[in-house]
Amino acid sequence: MHSDKIYHLYIQRYLKALIFGLLTLFTVIGFLMTSGVLHSSHGNGPPRFVGLLWLFIVSWYWYLVLTIPHTIVVSESGQVAFNSIIRKRLTTMREINSIKPPYGGQIGFLLIKTNTGKIRILNQFDGFHDFVLNLKTVNPTVELRGC
């Protein structure tokens, strides 16, 4: 019987709650700025376009958080699925060209380059060294840095 190898993101519950709590708070603040609720009776307060800009920036962070993979699934055939909350990215072990830290000082992240694109992951998966060892066995030309 064949079984898939599954690698789960290791992140504490309080950090998950903190991230989602702050993003929710920032979203609510954006809606309050946009609706004008934060204006005083004298009309003082941020212009509504500031609220729209705020919501745009917060939406971008929501997108980044919701597309970070929380699970890596490797099948016996070598297919690799990077599962996030809102999407699944599929590739194969042979299509992975490199795994290394991204440029720009993003500490705690790794960038996986494949033949079809890039996948940014947190550098905190249980058993990730096993994944890297299997990857190097199947694909000896893969470039590995920082993992």
* Close Cβ partners of 32 (under 8 Å, ≥ 6 residues apart): 38, 51
Amino acid at 79: Q
Residues 90, 69: contact at Cβ < 8 Å?
no
Q: What is the DSSP string of 55-124?
A: HHHHHHHHHHHHTS-SEEEE-TTSEEEEE-SS-EEEEEGGGEEEEEPPSS--TTEEEEEESS-EEEEES-
Amino acid at 126: D
Q: What percent of the chain stands above pLDDT 70? A: 92
Lowest mean pLDDT among 12-26, 31-45, 126-140: 31-45
SS3 content of the chain, % helix, strand, coil (to 5): 40, 25, 35
Spatial distance between the Cα atoms of 78 and 95, rounded to a whole number of angstroms = 10
Terminal alpha carbon distance of the chain: 31
pTM, 2 dp: 0.82
pLDDT surpassing 80 at residue 2: no
Give 56-65 pLDDT, tens digit per residue.
Answer: 999 999 999 9
Q: What pLDDT does 144 receive? A: 94
Q: What pLDDT does 94 receive? A: 95
Task: Supply the range of the domain harboring residue 108.
Answer: 1-147
Q: How many domains is the chain partitioned into structurally?
A: 1
Report CA-CA distances (Å) from 133 to 35, 45, 109: 53, 56, 19
pLDDT surpassing 60 at residue 9: yes
Helix or strand or coil: residue 67? coil
Give, as one character, the DSSP assignment of residue 38: T
